[in-house]
């Protein structure tokens, strides 16, 4: 069996990539023998890791590889400080890079300035790489201002220089990598997640103390200036004229560089908006289940593929996304695309009105979203994508599982937690509610007819047979049809 060094954050490191790796590793372990490298001093909280995988401090990777070379090394790079040790190891020992964010500017600012105090080097590199405009943005960043223009200067060149190949989860990232370093081997690997089980909407609302009949919008994750809060709030203000019972939940921590509460107060929406702050995984999942409509907006983008978005889609939640970056690669009918221009607030309002007034369309979008994730974002498929790329680049020959089952069963554990009521550590997200007939319908129609009509309104045609087939399976799975 081939030996793989795998350098990544894991819990309790504060990064979404921690969850990502802990879900992927048991499946990747079917193909290769894995040694996991983590930040020095980090003690993984997932008991399965130590039970099934050798864990080493990332500062030892270079020495370990020199003494007994690995067949491949994989580094996970994202924009969070949780990747500092990984980035430094990559600079010493080249390997294959999973590039979660194309723009690493904010990470490099942290590495050079906050950790190493290399202010002059940061200035010089920004000028050398990006000219006068880069030097101007560098000065703004050093003064604690984080302009949207920072996303125009990716600062990922050092990572690509040391990469033997790049794995990414979107064509958006791969196209930009190819423009910076033509000829570097790359591959598109779909991000895998466990398909979320079902949490009844009203049960979740009861646990959270939320009214059963209110229209609830929700956004999830770290709140910062790029999450399009102001356009969403302007749409909310207009929506309240039609639905006075609407409320907007902002579930997650708030950036210290963004006064979100002042924005809410300035727009006169204090009574309609709840900012929860950081919540536990269990509460997070209940908020997902409680939401009628999810807003997953972001512009500008660092090129990330959002695991949290895939979990919302996998939960069957009708979701609005910004029509930018990797989000534009979602197929028709899976999510509502919102252009980040002068029409943004109007589009958010229009989509929210449509989904609130047409529960058939909301249910159809949820079913299409869940079916899409179930088919194209499996953990098995992601692990095989990794194995095939590494085998091709390293000359390993045919790719086939050398173990019959994953190292541990992520999905079965989640299902067991649902059945036993143990919600302490699951990654569970809600399913879509049953299809409701529109109140204005003059004649009854079957759920299949209702959803088919709604999917047509969402842009699907008879040519989208694969999507329609998976939607039908999702409807059967969740009891919408016998």
Domain map (residue ranges) of the chain: 3-193+378-390, 201-373
pLDDT at 26 over 70: yes
User: CB-based contacts of 20: which residues, under 8 Å, 6+ apart?
Assistant: 8, 76, 100, 191, 307
Average pLDDT, integer, range 229-242 = 96
Q: Do domains 3-193+378-390 and 201-373 have the same CATH topology?
A: yes
Cα dihedral 198, 204, 207, 211, rounded to 10, equals -160
Q: Is the peptide bond before 12 cis (omega within 30 degrees of 0)?
A: yes
61 against 106, higher pLDDT: 61
pLDDT recorded at residue 156: 93
pLDDT at 459 over 80: no
pLDDT recorded at residue 453: 41
Percent of the chain with pLDDT over 90: 67
Q: Do residues 13 and 64 lie in contact, with contact meaning Cβ atoms separated by under 8 Å?
A: no
pLDDT at 46 over 50: yes
Q: Do residues 406 and 382 lie in contact, with contact meaning Cβ atoms separated by under 8 Å?
A: no
Average pLDDT, integer, range 409-429 = 45
Q: Do residues 318 and 297 lie in contact, with contact meaning Cβ atoms separated by under 8 Å?
A: no
Q: Do residues 298 and 227 lie in contact, with contact meaning Cβ atoms separated by under 8 Å?
A: yes
Q: Mean pLDDT in the chain?
A: 85
- Which residue is listed with tokens 């919408």? 480
The CATH number given to 3-193+378-390 is: 3.40.50.11930
196 against 287, higher pLDDT: 287
Q: What is the C-alpha R_g of the chain? A: 23
pLDDT recorded at residue 290: 95
pTM higher than 0.85: no
Lowest mean pLDDT among 218-227, 283-292, 318-327: 218-227
**For residue 226, which of 299, 141, 325 has the smallest C-alpha distance?**
299
> 201-373 adopts what CATH topology?
Rossmann fold (3.40.50)
pLDDT recorded at residue 481: 43
Among 112-116, 316-320, 413-417, top mean pLDDT goes to 316-320
pLDDT recorded at residue 434: 28
Provide the pLDDT confidence category of residue 28 given band limits of 50, 70 and 90.
Answer: very high
Enter the DSSP assignment of 425. Answer: S
440 against 123, higher pLDDT: 123
pLDDT at 438 over 70: no
Average pLDDT, integer, range 434-451 = 36
pLDDT recorded at residue 412: 55
């Amino acid at each position: 069996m081939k030996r793989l060094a795998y350098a990544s954050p894991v819990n309790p490191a504060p990064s979404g990539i921690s969850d990502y790796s802990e879900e992927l590793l048991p499946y990747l372990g079917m193909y290769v023998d894995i040694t996991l490298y983590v930040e020095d001093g980090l003690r993984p909280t997932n008991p399965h890791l130590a039970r099934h995988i050798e864990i080493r401090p990332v500062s030892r990777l270079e020495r370990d590889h020199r003494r007994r070379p690995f067949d491949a090394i994989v580094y996970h790079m994202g924009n969070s400080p949780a990747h500092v040790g990984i980035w430094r190891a990559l600079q010493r020992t080249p390997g294959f890079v999973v590039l979660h964010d194309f723009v690493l500017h904010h990470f490099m600012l942290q590495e050079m300035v906050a950790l190493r105090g290399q202010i002059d080097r940061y200035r010089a590199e920004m000028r050398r790489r990006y000219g006068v405009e880069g030097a101007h943005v560098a000065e703004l960043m050093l003064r604690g201002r984080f302009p949207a223009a920072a996303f125009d200067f990716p600062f990922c060149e050092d990572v690509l220089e040391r990469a033997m190949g790049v794995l990414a989860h979107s064509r958006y990232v791969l196209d930009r990598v190819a423009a910076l370093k033509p000829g570097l081997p790359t591959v598109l690997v779909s991000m895998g997640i466990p398909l979320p089980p079902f949490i009844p909407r009203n049960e979740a609302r009861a646990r959270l103390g939320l009214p059963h009949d209110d229209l609830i919008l929700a956004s999830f994750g770290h709140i910062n200036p790029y999450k399009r809060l102001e356009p969403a709030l302007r749409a909310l203000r207009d929506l309240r004229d039609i639905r006075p019972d609407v409320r907007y939940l902002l579930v997650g921590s708030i950036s210290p560089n963004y006064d979100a509460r002042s924005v809410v107060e300035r727009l006169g929406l204090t009574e309609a908006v709840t900012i929860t702050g950081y919540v536990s995984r269990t509460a997070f999942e209940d908020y997902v289940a409680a939401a009628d409509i999810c807003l997953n907006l972001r512009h500008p983008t660092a090129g990330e593929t959002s695991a949290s978005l895939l979990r919302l889609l996998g939960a069957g939640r009708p979701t609005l996304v910004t029509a930018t970056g990797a989000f534009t690669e979602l197929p028709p009918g899976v999510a509502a695309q919102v252009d980040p221009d002068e029409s943004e607030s109007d589009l958010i309002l229009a989509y929210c009105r449509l989904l609130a007034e047409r529960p058939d369309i909301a249910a159809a979008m949820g079913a299409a979203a869940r079916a899409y994730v179930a088919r194209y974002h499996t953990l098995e498929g992601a692990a095989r994508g990794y194995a095939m790329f590494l085998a091709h680049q390293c000359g390993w020959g045919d790719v086939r599982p050398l173990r019959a089952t994953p190292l541990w069963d992520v999905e079965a554990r989640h299902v067991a937690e649902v059945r036993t009521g143990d919600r302490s550590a699951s990654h569970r997200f809600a399913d879509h509610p049953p299809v409701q007939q529109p109140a204005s319908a003059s004649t009854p129609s079957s759920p299949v007819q209702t959803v088919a009509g709604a999917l047509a309104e969402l842009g699907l045609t008879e040519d989208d047979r694969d999507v329609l087939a998976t939607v039908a399976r999702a409807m059967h799975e969740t009891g919408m049809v016998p």
